[in-house]
Structure 1
Amino acid sequence: MFFVSDSIFAQSRNLTVAIIIDYEFPFSVGKSQTVRLWAFFFVTLVKMNIGTATSEENPTNSYLGSRGIWITYVLILLITHFMLLTIPFFSVAVAWTLTNVVHCVITYFMLHVTKGTPWGTPEQGKARTQTQWEQIDCGQQFTPTKKFLTIVPVVIFFLASFYTKYDSTHFCINLVALGFSVIPKLPQLHGVRIFNINKW
């Protein structure tokens, strides 16, 4: 029968956890014999804030620039586009226009309407009044993350225009969607609430 009799924890950059396991032989005659086994587990610790997911006070500042996010973003975009292409009654032009419009609408609401931080407490300080876009990279302009998030809708717009053969109807729809995605990202509109919309 196995049972853990003791455990020893030593904190360092590499954490060694030694667990003492006693094994009692059921077939022994008379006094039971116990064999003590030592199991070592090595865990690499990452510097972090205890009790939180990251070491930052406001992870909204940097999560869009963290490793793997950009490629995940592009993959989700491609999967969405391929899913729209699989719908039999959608032409290639319609699929590209819908990809552009859906992307622009979702990113508009995620980056320019949503305020605060989902990881914070109800009392979020100045993050409470800032949109996600305004919090990225602590409000700095022209950072790699902000450039990437600005270039992607422009590239999708050009692709949608090309695959719709510059049809005027599709072009107007795609241009309006691009405006909703790119105009709020301009540095001149940082912190600006037009007609006090989304002020609180």
Structure 2
Amino acid sequence: MLDGSAAVNPNGSWLNSRGIWLTYCLGILLLHLLILSFPFLSVAWAWSLTNLTHNVAMFFFLHTLKGVPWESADQGKSRYLTQWEQIDDEMQFTATRKFLTVVPVFLFFLTSFYTKYDSVHFAINFCSLMFVLIPKLPQFHKVRLFGINKY
């Protein structure tokens, strides 16, 4: 393991691939343009829905899904870990983790600006931001609140 010969967990390594950060940002932009194309939505609601959709998807895919879709070299240890916990072999404060933490904050700032700091939009988007940021804190690594997602 220390000599670097161990197999890398593919669940966490794909986020370090070339161009994935750009692809991720372009995906958010395409989501926003898709939502913006609905004529009955205002710009403020389009930004709020973009933010909410992104944060709910991020919470679901990174903080609720556990395990690996194939046999990994860790003899089943990663099947109890969420996708977030598997990123970069459970190391904290890596570039990938920082990027995935900064993106929701940046999206929240953009949403707040384009909603003209409306209090209703701000409250909804702030709750959404906390919903996705709190599980990313190192203090919540391998923590299952109220036994939810324990197994």
Q: Report the TM-score when normalising by structure 1.
A: 0.70
* Conserved? CA contact 1:116–1:124, under 8 Å: no
Runs ≥4 in structure 1, deviation > 3 angstroms?
A: none
Equivalent position of 1:193 in the other structure: 144
Q: Give, in angstroms, the shift of residue 57 of structure 1.
A: 4.6
Take 1:157 and 1:144, find their aligned partners in 2: how far apart are those partners?
A: 20
Partner residue of 1:176 out of 114, 127, 140: 127
Verify the 8 A CA contact 1:116 1:130 in the aligned structure 2: yes
Identity %, equivalent residues: 59
- Give how far 1:168 is off: 0.7
Cα pair distance change 1:168/1:124, threshold 3 Å: farther
Contact 2:101 2:133 in 1 (8 A): yes
Q: 1:161 aligns with which of 77, 90, 112?
A: 112
Match in the other structure for 1:72? 23
- In structure 2, the CA distance between the partners of 1:133 and 1:72, relative to structure 1 (3 Å rule), is same
Deviation track 1:88-147 (CA, whole Å, cap 9, x = no partner) reads: 0110000000000000000000000000112336x9611110000000000000000000
* Aligned mates of 2:109, 2:126 — CA distance in 1: 10
Gaps of 5+ in 1: 1-54
CA contact (8 A) 1:58 1:120 kept: no
Whether 1:151 aligns to 2:105 is no
1:195–1:118 CA distance, 2 compared to 1 (3 A): same
Indicate the residue corresponding to 2:3 in structure 1.
none
Aligned to 1:99: 50
Q: Determine helix, strand or coil for the equivalent of 1:181.
A: helix
Aligned residues: 145
Instruction: Output the aligned Cα RMSD.
Output: 1.5
- Secondary structure of the residue aligned to 1:159 is helix
Q: Distance in 2 between matches of 1:124 and 1:94?
A: 46
Check the 8 A contact 2:48/2:125 in 1, yes or no. yes
Partners of 1:141 and 1:103 lie apart in 2 by 22
Match of 2:39 among 68, 71, 88: 88
**Is the Cα–Cα contact under 8 Å of residues 9 and 89 in structure 2 kept in the other structure?**
no
Which of the two has greater helix per residue? 2
Distance 2:135 2:71 in 1: 24
Are the equivalent residues in 2 in contact too, given 1:117–1:124 (CA < 8 A)? no
